[in-house]
Amino acid sequence: RRRRRRMECTIAQLKEKIFTSDSFSDLDLHPHLVATLNKVMNISTLTSVQKQTIPALLAGRDAVVRSQTGSGKTLSYAVPLVQSLQSIQPKVSRSDGPLALIIVPTRELAQQTFQTFQKLLKPFTWIVPGVLMGGEKRKAEKARIRKGINILVSTPGRLVDHIKNTLSIAFSAVRWLVLDEADRTLDLGFEKDLTVILNSLNSAGPARQNVLLSATLTNGVTRLADVCLNDPVSIHVSGAPCSDLTTTSAVTCDPEGASQSESFAVPEALKQFVVVVPSKVRLVCLAAFILDKCKFSQNDKLIVFISSCEAVEFLHSLFTAVLSRPSANHKPPLRFLRLHGNMKQEDRTEAFQQFSASQSGVLLCTDVAARGLDLPQVTWIIQYTPPTAAAEYVHRVGRTARIGARGSSLLFLTPAETAFITELANHNISLSEMKLQDILSSLMFDDVYKGRGNVGRERSHVRPQEVRERATVLQTEFENFVHADARSLQAAKKALQSFLRAYTTYPAHLKHIFHIRSLHLGHAAKSFGLRDAPQGLTAAAGPGASGSHRKNQNQARKQTGSPREVRLICSEFSSGLESRDAKKKKKKKEEEE
Ligand SMILES: Nc1ncnc2c1ncn2[C@@H]1O[C@H](COP(=O)(O)OP(=O)(O)OP(=O)(O)O)[C@@H](O)[C@H]1O
């Protein structure tokens, strides 16, 4: 019974109710602020996180806020912040310098947050918002700082740059510090920057309200909270007493204290899928999925997460060349956009705005787009390369199903990586399987990919052999494009290399799932349109080339403890998940009996 209790605890999805029945006009806010929310932003009803956070912040408290992606955390701090600054007498002026500092991890999020403040401040023109972010001209930013910015939104690195080099930046008046995506801001590169920022604030030192927010606050953040928060209120929207098994986290409920996992809430209207794909058909599978969603059936809006800038660049040029051909049904050609950290700032801004404004299309990106971005009407999130942590999974899928809307996500895993499903389950995230065969069968809708098989069949009537032939036709097209000239061949090799490099960066506790030695180099090369694994890569990837594949399977067998799964690792088109599910159900039934 003890074991069953823990299992229920682990698989129960955390649920957060997004909206309340309360409205902004019930709060003690300036009527012009309420009117702006209503008329400019079309917002009147409070979300759960806003209902809990806004009164606490209006009362002058510090706060640590966790609620699911797309639940309105930005306004939960921005509204009380504006309310507080507009009430200062004598009125705030530019010469007061920064009164509020908002730190966010990426440039696009800085831009988006700045725009939210611009809207909220419409009736309070004497309060000046500003944004600092890498990639912009330093000189121009310096001039803006000198002129005076009251609400300063910045990425950590750029702010540190100005703290060190811009004499005119003074934090003597700062009374609000907000760390949005606080757990990310604490990550590797940013922790040092944050220390510099906190030191520069503390040395100036007036009383200050501090707010930390994220959908995935973890223990690391609590550590930071000790340093910079003063007796904070802790707002966890999905938090529930341990007695309630349907909503409690695995951490608090684990009777043996064995699980160290944090449970995360994902939006209720989000449908989460996983597809198990052998490396050598990964590329075709992604292409078939995109074609299905954006060309053959509906006009979906997709975000595809990929692990490196080079791989994003490569897939962008490959798909633009091979998949964007005009179609027989006279639909406009498929559009691919890209967003990653190696792009010029103008190109990044343009891609972000274009995708934001478009009704459909595909954005290929790195994790630079994983956090905080509020891109309207995104219908599908595809994780072509798995994330390096469950928290990042949550943020990536959180780019869809925002503020109560529907959305879906699809995670790509190779047969050797399926243990990641259990890792996600430890964080209360459960996925349904989508069949590789079903995804590939969408290729039957287009004669371009016709091999020897017939055309235009109903999905349910297609033979696996025909689908496989079409997949081969498409893979050959990709390979022909890649091998057509030295430049694209080089780009594909670079992309493969960067993919392998990224694969070595999974944290130690996930290395048993994502280990470079478990990769089949020849098959990984296929997923970049290469006919063979390039020479010289073997050393970089260790003995994971085809010769040691059997060894890897043995390793996988040890890890999963399931002989059935290992057999399926060899099978190209079946995932093995269904047999595992059946086994699980049987076990559960036995336990219930
Ligand atoms: N009370 C509300 N009513 C209707 N829409 C709202 C409300 N509050 C916020 N929104 C809208 O919901 C969307 C998501 O809000 P926001 O970006 O603040 O979410 P978030 O919780 O910060 O998400 P993430 O964790 O991904 O950063 C935005 O478009 C915002 O304008």
Tell me the per-residue pLDDT of 341-383, one tens digit each, with 9 for 90 and over. 999 999 999 999 999 999 999 999 999 999 999 999 999 999 9
* Best mutation site among 75, 217, 409 for ligand 1 pocket (most ligand atoms within 8 Å of CB): 75
The pLDDT value given to residue 485: 95
Read off the pLDDT of each residue in 314-318 and give the average, rounded to a whole number: 97
Amino acid code (one letter) for 313: E
**Cα–Cα distance, 345 to 337 (Å, whole number):** 15
For 593, residues 6+ apart whose C-beta sits below 8 A from its C-beta are none
ipTM of the complex: 0.99
Least confident of 35-39, 189-193, 396-400, 546-550: 546-550
Q: What pLDDT sits at residue 14?
A: 67
> 3-state class of 460 per DSSP?
helix
When the candidates are 3.30.56.10, 3.30.470.20, 3.40.50.300, 3.40.220.10, the CATH number that belongs to 269-291+314-324+333-582 is: 3.40.50.300
Is any atom of ligand 1 closer than 6 Å to the C-beta of 69? Answer: yes
CA distances from 27 to 178, 299, 403, 480 (A): 21, 40, 21, 63
Selection from 88, 82, 77 nearest residue 47 by Cα:
77
The candidate with the shortest Cα–Cα distance to 187, out of 215, 221, 225, is: 221
Kind and range of the H or E element at 193? helix 188-204
Give me the pLDDT at residue 11, please.
45
* pLDDT exceeds cutoff 50 at 589: no
Rounded to an integer, the average pLDDT of 400-415 is 97
Closest approach atom of ligand 1 to CA 374 = 17
Decide if pLDDT at 212 tops 60: yes
CA of 525 to the centre of ligand 1 (A): 40
Averaged pLDDT of the chain = 82
Kindly state if the Cβ of 407 falls inside 6 Å of ligand 1.
Answer: no
Homologous superfamily (CATH) of 18-251 is P-loop containing nucleotide triphosphate hydrolases (3.40.50.300)
Q: Is 538 exposed, middle or buried (0-12, 13-18, 19+ CB in 10 A)?
A: middle
Give the pLDDT of residue 267.
95
Residue 480: per-residue pLDDT: 97
Q: Which two three-digit tokens encode residue 65?
A: 């806020």
SS (HEC) of 126-156: CCCEEEECCCCCHHHHHHHHHHCCCEEEECH
Taking each helix axis from N to C end, the angle separating 309-323 and 464-482, rounded to the nearest 10 degrees, works out to: 110
Strands 432-433 and 270-276, bridge-based pairing: parallel
The backbone torsions φ and ψ at residue 382, rounded to the nearest 5 degrees and listed phi first, read: -115, 125
Token code pair at residue 429: 């995230």
Residue matched to tokens 């109710």: 17
Residue 538 has what pLDDT?
Answer: 47
Among 86-95, 149-158, 321-330, 339-348, the least confident range: 321-330
Measured CA to CA, the distance from residue 546 to residue 524 in angstroms comes to 11
Task: Report whether pLDDT(536) > 60.
Answer: yes
Q: Which atom of ligand 1 is nearest to the CA of 71?
A: 21
Q: How many residues does the chain have?
A: 593
Give the model confidence (pLDDT) of 123-157 as tens digits: 999 999 999 987 778 888 888 998 999 999 999 99
Best of 374, 393, 400, 409 for a ligand 1 pocket test (most atoms within 8 Å of beta carbon): 374
Span 316-325, mean pLDDT? 92
List C-alpha distances in Å: 384 to 312, 363, 442.
11, 12, 18
Classified as helix, coil or strand, 178 is: strand
**What are the C-alpha distances in Å from 172 to residues 114, 168, 204, 520, 562?**
22, 12, 5, 57, 61
Compute the C-alpha angle 265/562/586, nearest 5°: 70
pLDDT at residue 448 in the model: 63
CATH 3.40.50.300 domain locations along the chain: 18-251, 269-291+314-324+333-582
**Tokens 């020897």 — which residue?**
452
- Ligand 1 proximity of 402 Cβ (cutoff 6 Å): yes
CB 49 within 8 A of CB 265: no
In angstroms, the CA 358 to CA 352 distance is: 10
**pLDDT score for 156:** 92
Buried b (16+ CB within 10 A) or exposed e, 47-58: bbbbbbbbebbb
